[in-house]
Structure 1
Amino acid sequence: MKSKKYIWLVILVAAIGLLIYFAPIKNSNRTVYNMDLKYNDKDKTIIGTEAVDFINTDDVNLSEVYMHLYPNAFKDKSKVPFTKEEMGLAYPNGFKPGYIEINDVTFGKNEKATYSIDQKTGEILKILLPKKLGKGDRISFTIDFKVQIPPSCGRFGYGNNTIQVTNFYPILSVYDQNGWNNDPYYALGDPFYSDVSNYRVKLAVPKGMEVATTGVVTSKIRQGDMNVLTIDAPNVRDFAVVMSSKFKVAEGDVDGIRVKSYYFDEDSGLKALKYAQDAIRFYNSYIGKYPYKEYSVVESDFYMGGMEYPNLVFISKDLYSKDNLFNLEYVIAHETAHQWWYGVVGNNEVREAWLDEGLTEYTTIMYIERYYGKATADAVFKSIISGEFYKFSKTNKDDAMVKTLGQFKDWNDYTNIVYNKGAMVFNELRSLIGDEKFKEVLDKYYSEYKYKNATTQNLIDVVDSVTGKDTGGFFEEWLD
């Protein structure tokens, strides 16, 4: 996510049934989500059925699975994932709850499952399996649910123009070396961690509603007053849509990738398309090719700058003004870089947020260098990254980078340590090993951890492999 940092740039530049059957998707080692969703615009609800074909890829026998119910973080006003200072921006028209109701969970042919929802937060669904699941084994289960979308201009919610439908469905927690990762929806950072899966979605929306989505719309059928979209989204770690009846759409092509801009004002909307195309073009050549068919940049009621999801990013409408175009370009370049660092190469954004945000922020600086020259990139880096961090560090001595989101004090703390210091690590690494080796590091890191979740140690191992040196001391000095 690109939240408050973009402000500093002004200084520098002034209903089918219980189980839906779809054609099988390749990559049999992936968990598959088949979803049937119906959106009601009047009451801002989604009625959904989710059939999950889960595969255990870990060396442990599982007796249960856990799933995040992120919408329940928006149920209680006193517990919503916003700081006190943000509440007016998040709920400009007043607070109303958002939530998800689990109506039924079944295995196979309507075999009732035993399940429970964490009573403290309401954010974790536990499902007991009928038998232990070994490595490589699969089990299918179906969840019926209802989602209430809140009147929020955050990631999940609706404003006067757009509806952001993100982190809205039950999604499996990640099981890794630390066990099940059932972290809450923190107010700071991007509190998400998920495995790459395959998605097939049927989404019914009112006619006249334009939909920007993860994946590719493979069919669109009119059924009365509704349009039913079939969406295919393989090899992604999440699924999201942004909807509006006011969208205009422009598109172009980069290296065979369909790039789309959803917007309200044509001048800035077309510029957003160009910025997205430029970013895709550069990152394709420098890191490795974007492995999906489509990519969408969406103007939205989101108040925090920009936010990334697979194949889809949404950008605050406030950035689409004529006097804010460099900010718009910077945020689009940042969110597009997240398609590589988060989307394709994942990581635990709760416990190692610096890994994707720091690399994304520095990749954005490299975009500036590519299109505006090194002098401009150095000036931007000094103004909004190193300069801001050094001011911060004068009064903040606890700048350890590898810690959970709950350990950061506020947005200033998080931004300076995760974004700024994180980008400084990669800038220093580039200076230390040279441009050629640095490019090789990014290429190897991308190719080796494509569709996987990487760790800080994985990155260090890649650097050591490329350079033939032990760089553990370098990273330890920066990360502690």
Structure 2
Amino acid sequence: MRLKRKTLWALTIIIIIGLIIYLLPTKDSNITLYTIEAKYDDENKVIYATQKVDYVNTHDISLREVYFHLYPNAFKTQENLPFTKEELPFAYPDGFKLGFIEFEKIAYRNDIPATYKFEEPNGEILKVILPKELKKGEGIQIKMTYKVQLPPCRGRFGYGTNTVQVANWYPILSVYDKNGWNNDLYYVFGDPFYSDIANYKVKLTVPKNMIVATTGVIKDEKVSYDFKELNIEAQKVRDFAMVMSPKFKVAEQEVDGIKVKSYYFTKDYGKKALKFAVDAIKFYNDYIGKYPYKQYSVVQSDFYIGGMEYPNLVMISKDLYTNSNLFNLEYVIAHETAHQWWYGAVGNNQIKESWLDEGLTEYTTILYIERYYGKATADEIYRHVIEGEFDKYLKTSSDTSFAKTLADFKEWKQYTNIAYNKGAMVFHDLRGLIGDEAFKKVLQSYYKKYKYKIATTQDLIDVVDSVTGKDTGGFFQEWFY
């Protein structure tokens, strides 16, 4: 068939435009990509993995090296563990055994051997010397082969009798910001994890009876003999975590187009946990802004203290799944779910400004209580749980400064009262100062402006000033100084 000249020209233009679109970098082309193939050996509690990290320098200076956190190496020796002495019996009820990450190979693209060295106690930081100066806009691929030994620890990283917690387990890039590389250690207090968003493609092989709760979405699953292979993808998240168990039952419900899942092994309470998670997602979607991911999982875990947030997934202590702890279960799930907005979507430096996400998350939990139980109940809980506990703390300590890094805290009571309680009090008083509608608009504007970014205290103040049209620097100064 002969085509008319106009038709040929049109086809040519379409092809050229298609090529241009294909060759142009996408808006996500500067986001770090982690491609991980991991196999979990349940008998020995070991993960064998290969990992490719595609990193682009987005900074205004050239880089000569990049750094990775190796959090598993904080579990190498009992003297260096990220727990207080009082916590050890709860974290290691069966006694201490080490955990670590050990490398077989680190290379650049095309398997060119990399130059690298381990820094800090027990090699918690990996420094990779780049083969040439990496200018702004240039990228590099770093390939790693390693194994991770999980310890018998009931913390974020380890295993108990019911579940395996696989969090902070792989080499993750340090954040480079105006202060340079942030190579902080796995501190005892708080959540010592500061990370940029990244994309993840993970191929995970586990025993076929293992049920996996994970960051991201399981795209497909293949069973072969005694194993199954999961292909998992996560877009624009700050970390990648999993909890595994052959004992899990799963309940799920869709809300606002989001699949909410409850993984549990204590009968009768998994569905209650699901309801609390659904209620939290529904309220925060309306009050703050839409949860930006397709899935969210609440996971009952052998986790010895409360709850812990990761992107798309939170660990909740198995001890809360009882009738006597039902309200505590709801409160912790509401709190950890709020972290999906404050930490997950809107990031901050949790080492230097821990109050920013914890204080806002704690007060957002009070807003949840107000929504479902009424203002009188929320006010009562605020007075007892937040102001009351802070007043008790003031009787034994005058140190309430926000100007602390996690390394400066001396005890959990100090950390929780400053980061959580005093932090929540700031937002409570701010709401009283500017009014309910303006406060709601502040949270919505803060979320919208800093979603997938890293915010600071000054960024928050700027949003408040922008929304209210007032200078609120004096208000924040009173709280800080």
Q: Which band: TM-score by shorter chain?
A: over 0.9
Aligned-partner SS, 1:95: coil
Does the aligned pair in 2 maintain the 1:153–1:301 contact within 8 Å?
A: yes
Name the counterpart of 1:55: 56
Instruction: Tell me which residue corresponds to 2:131.
Output: 130
Name the structure 1 match of 2:164. Answer: 163
Q: Which moved more, 1:259-268 or 1:33-42?
A: 259-268
Partner amino acid for 1:382?
R
CA distance in structure 1 between the aligned counterparts of 2:466 and 2:136, rounded to whole angstroms = 30
Contact 1:358–1:419 (Cα < 8 Å) also in 2: yes
The answer to whether 1:200 aligns with 2:201 is yes
Structure-1 residue corresponding to 2:189: 188
Q: Given residue 101 of structure 1, which amino acid in structure 2 is its aligned partner?
A: E
| In 2, Cα distance between equivalents of 1:435 and 1:137 | 46
Match in the other structure for 1:435:
436
Matched-pair contact (CA < 8 Å) for 1:354–1:402: no
- The CA deviation at 1:121 is 3.5
Q: Helix, strand or coil for the counterpart of 1:208?
A: coil
- How far apart are 1:114 and its partner, in Å? 0.3
- State the one-letter code of the partner of 1:36: E
* Residues 197-276 of structure 1 aligned to structure 2 (within 5 Å): 197-276=198-277
> After the TM superposition, which of the residue ranges 25-34 and 166-175 deviates more from structure 2?
25-34
Q: CA–CA distance in 2 between the matches of 1:97 and 1:25?
A: 43
SS in 1 for 2:193: coil
* Other-structure match for 2:121: 120
Aligned to 2:11: none
Q: CA deviation at 1:391?
A: 1.4
AA paired with 2:154? C
Superposition CA RMSD, Å: 1.0
Cα-to-partner distance string for 1:317-364 (whole Å, 9 max, x where unaligned):
000001111000000000000000000000010110000000000000
- The structural deviation recorded for 1:402 is 2.8
Where 1:129 maps in the other structure, the secondary structure is strand
* AA at the equivalent of 1:173: S
CA apart distance, 1:395: 2.3
Which residue in the other structure is 1:13 paired with? Answer: none
List aligned pairs for 1:61-460, cutoff 5 A. 61-118=62-119, 120-460=121-461
Cα-to-partner distance string for 1:146-200 (whole Å, 9 max, x where unaligned): 1000000011000000000000000000000000000000010000000000000
Which shows bigger deviation, 408-417 or 468-477? 468-477
Q: Which amino acid aligns with 1:84?
A: K
Alignment length (residue pairs): 457
| Secondary structure of 1:376's aligned partner | helix
Q: Please tell me whether the aligned partners of residues 30 and 55 of structure 2 are also in contact (alpha carbons under 8 angstroms).
A: no
How far apart are residue 267 of structure 1 and its match?
1.5
Counterparts of 1:244 and 1:288 in 2: how far apart (Å)? 33
AA matched with 1:442: L
Structure with the bigger RCO (C-alpha within 8 Å, sep 6+) is 1
The structure with the largest alpha-carbon Rg is 2
In structure 2, the residue corresponding to 1:461 is in which secondary structure? helix
List, as ranges, runs of 4+ consecutive aligned residues in structure 1 with deviation greater than 6 Å.
none
Deviates more, 1:88-97 or 1:117-126: 117-126
Residue in structure 2 matched with residue 478 of structure 1 by the alignment: 479
Identity of aligned residues (%): 66
**Aligned counterparts of 1:90 and 1:152: Cα–Cα separation in 2:** 5
**Which ranges in structure 1 are unaligned for 5 or more consecutive residues?**
1-23
**Deviation of residue 373 (structure 1)?**
0.1
Residue aligned with 2:393, SS: helix
C-alpha distance in structure 1 between counterparts of 2:32 and 2:135, whole Å: 15
Whole-Å separation in 2 of the counterparts to 1:475 and 1:351: 17
Maintained 8 Å contact 1:353/1:402: no
Q: Which blocks of at least 5 consecutive residues in structure 2 are unaligned?
A: 1-24
Pairs within 5 Å for 1:14-29: 27-29=28-30
Who is 1:3 aligned against? none
Q: Matched residues in 2 for 1:324 and 1:26: separation?
A: 46
| Paired residues of 1:186 and 1:406 also in contact (CA < 8 A) | yes
Change (3 A) 1:148 1:478: same
What's the secondary structure of 2:123's corresponding residue? coil
Task: Determine if contact 2:76/2:122 at 8 Å carries over to the other structure.
Answer: no
**Structure 2: distance between partners of 1:70 and 1:79:** 12
Following the alignment from structure 2 to structure 1, what is the Cα–Cα distance between the partners of residues 58 and 461?
24
> SS of the residue aligned with 1:368?
helix
Q: CA deviation at 1:213?
A: 0.1
Mapped partners of 2:242, 2:456: distance in 1: 28
State how far apart, in whole Å, the 2-side matches of 1:27 and 1:200 are.
15
CA change 1:117–1:25 in 2 (3 A) is farther
Corresponding position of 1:4: none
Q: Calculate the TM-score normalised by the size of structure 1.
A: 0.94
Deviations 1:245-294 (A, max 9, x none): 00000000110000000001231100000000000000000000000000
131-140 or 181-190: which moved more?
A: 131-140
Q: For each residue in 1:394-423, what CA deviation from the matched residue of structure 2 results, as whole angstroms up to 9, or x when unmatched?
A: 221111113100111100000000000000
SS in 2 for 1:84: coil
Secondary structure, in 3 states, of the residue corresponding to 1:239? coil
Are the counterparts in 2 of residues 401 and 479 from structure 1 also a CA contact under 8 Å? yes
In the superposition, the TM-score normalised over structure 2's length comes to 0.94
Would you say the 8 A contact 1:25–1:198 is kept in 2? no
The SS at the match of 1:322 is coil
CA deviation vs aligned residue, 1:29-73 (integer Å, no higher than 9, x gap): 201000000000000000001100001111110000000000000
SS of residue paired to 1:204: strand
Q: Per-residue deviation at 1:119?
A: 5.2
One-letter identity of the residue aligned with 2:425: M
Secondary structure of the 2:176 match is: strand
| Alpha-carbon contact 2:38-2:204 (below 8 Å) kept | yes
How does 1:24-43 map onto structure 2 within 5 Å? 27-43=28-44
Q: How far apart are residue 26 of structure 1 and its match?
A: 6.9
Moved more, 422-431 or 402-411: 402-411
For the residues of structure 2 that align with 1:120 and 1:147, how far apart are their CA atoms? Answer: 18
Shift in Å at residue 25 of structure 1? 9.0
Distance in 1 between residues matched to 2:405 and 2:240, nearest whole Å: 24
Q: Partners in 2 of 1:218 and 1:433 — Cα distance?
A: 45
Deviation at 1:224, TM superposition (A): 2.2
